[in-house]
Chains A and B, each alone.
Chain A
Amino acid sequence: MEGPSRVTLGACVGIDATALCCTSHSQTTMEGLHDLLSQPLFDALCDRFGASFYSKYLEQVFACSRVGKAGAMQLQLDAVMLQAVLLKLPFVGRGTESKKLLRNSIGSSAFSRLLRSAVAKTQRILQLVGMDAADAIKHFKTCWEDGRVEDMMKILMLKGGCAALAVLLLVW
């Protein structure tokens, strides 16, 4: 049987090919780094990576031209799927003990807690992206507590600039 492409796997589990590619790139790089660094340093690197990954992810989303409802839903799903891969990062290269360590750490380690809160925040923001302009404005403060007006503008730009901004002006 011929080896299926990433897109085929993406279609099976509902993850986008781009997200898959991203996880495989980061995982390979981290595996290489694990061999070179001491465990505490590698853990520190994983913490930093986990803390900044989702903000980078959102940065890329906001750089897109427009995102539809289904697109936002796919991005949300990707964010959750990525979390599953990122959770394994601190344990790459630890061989057979990695599964046990991963099982023990889920829900307890600082890294997984940090990742979970980042995913939850990303999901809430992507929910806003999937809403209609008026609903997004209405729910902005509840979904994005520390969000600023500029962030609101970014979300509205993803819905198609002028019309969405007109809604913002009307609501405010």
Chain B
Amino acid sequence: MQCPRNGLKVDQVRRVALTLNTADYCARMTSRLADYAITILDDELAESVDLENEENQFYDQVLAPCVSLLLEHVFARCHRPFSKLKRKNWMAVKVSGRMRLDRVVCQLRSPTLAQRKSAAVFCVFCCRSPAEHLITFLALNSHCW
């Protein structure tokens, strides 16, 4: 099964998850089954009990491809933002976020700002400014993530 460009549909994801969970259970149970068989069989027969191949088959033929498929699905869901990233004109970016933050820090540190305000007002400004930024950031957070 191949992942379409826009990702899997809801029922397809559910089916893959179901297969994955079942295969995982079967793989874990295979080794337990082998252990159990060894305990109830005669020594001669017990020696020939080996289900490692079957267990590996669950991992290699079901679990690994299903995990890859789900991974492709997650990346497919990121396709739109990734293609936006690709299309964006990064030459036109003049000021990065870090520079923007540096400027704010620079402004806060500038002596002119401290000189313009009285010591008490400047103190209140310094305490309020980061707190306001934090409150705004937290308020925005709920909308955007």
Separation in Å of the A130 CB from the closest CB of chain B? 9
B104-117 CB mask vs A (1 if < 8 Å, else 0) is: 00000000000000
Separation in Å of the A91 CB from the closest CB of chain B? 14
Interface residue stretch chosen among A61-69, A97-105, A113-121, A132-140: A61-69
Chain A residues within 8 Å of B7, by CB: 29
Contacting residue for B97 out of A15, A38, A56, A61, CB 8 A: A15
Verify if A109 is at the interface (C-beta below 8 Å from B). Answer: no
Contacting residue for A41 out of B24, B73, B82, B97, CB 8 A: B24
Chain B residues within 8 Å of A10, by CB: 97
Across the interface, do A25 and B67 meet the contact criterion of CB distance under 8 Å? no
Separation in Å of the A140 CB from the closest CB of chain B? 20
How many of A's residues come within 8 Å of B, CB to CB?
Answer: 58
Interface residue stretch chosen among B35-43, B46-54, B136-144: B136-144
Across the interface, do A74 and B20 meet the contact criterion of CB distance under 8 Å? no
Chain A residues within 8 Å of B94, by CB: 70
The interface size bin for chain B is: 35 or more
| Interface secondary structure of B, over-half rule | helix
Given known A-B contacts A18-B85, A66-B90, A25 and B97 have beta carbons under 8 A apart: no
Verify if A37 is at the interface (C-beta below 8 Å from B). Answer: yes
Chain A residues within 8 Å of B86, by CB: 60, 63-64
Contacting residue for A22 out of B18, B70, B78, CB 8 A: B78
Contact count A vs B, C-beta below 8 Å: 144
Q: Which of B77, B86, B97, B145 has the most CB of A within 10 A?
A: B97
Which parts of A20-34 form the interface with B (CB within 8 Å)? 20-30, 32-33
Docked pose: A76 CA to B17 CA in angstroms: 34
Chain A residues within 8 Å of B95, by CB: 70
Which parts of A59-98 form the interface with B (CB within 8 Å)? 60-61, 63-68, 70-77, 85
Chain B residues within 8 Å of A27, by CB: 145
Contacting residue for B96 out of A1, A29, A74, CB 8 A: A74
B interface residues, Cβ below 8 angstroms from A = 7, 13-14, 17-18, 20-21, 24, 67-68, 70-71, 73-75, 77-78, 80-86, 88-101, 133, 136-137, 139-141, 143-145
21 A-B pairs with C-beta separation under 8 A: A4-B144, A9-B141, A9-B143, A24-B144, A24-B145, A25-B80, A27-B145, A29-B7, A33-B13, A36-B18, A38-B21, A52-B75, A57-B82, A60-B83, A64-B90, A65-B89, A66-B91, A68-B92, A70-B96, A74-B98, A77-B96
A interface residues, Cβ below 8 angstroms from B = 1, 3-6, 8-16, 18-30, 32-33, 36-38, 40-41, 44-45, 48-49, 52, 56-57, 60-61, 63-68, 70-77, 85
Q: Nearest 10 A-B pairs (CB), nearest first?
A: A14-B97, A71-B90, A36-B17, A22-B81, A73-B96, A74-B96, A21-B81, A67-B90, A71-B93, A3-B143
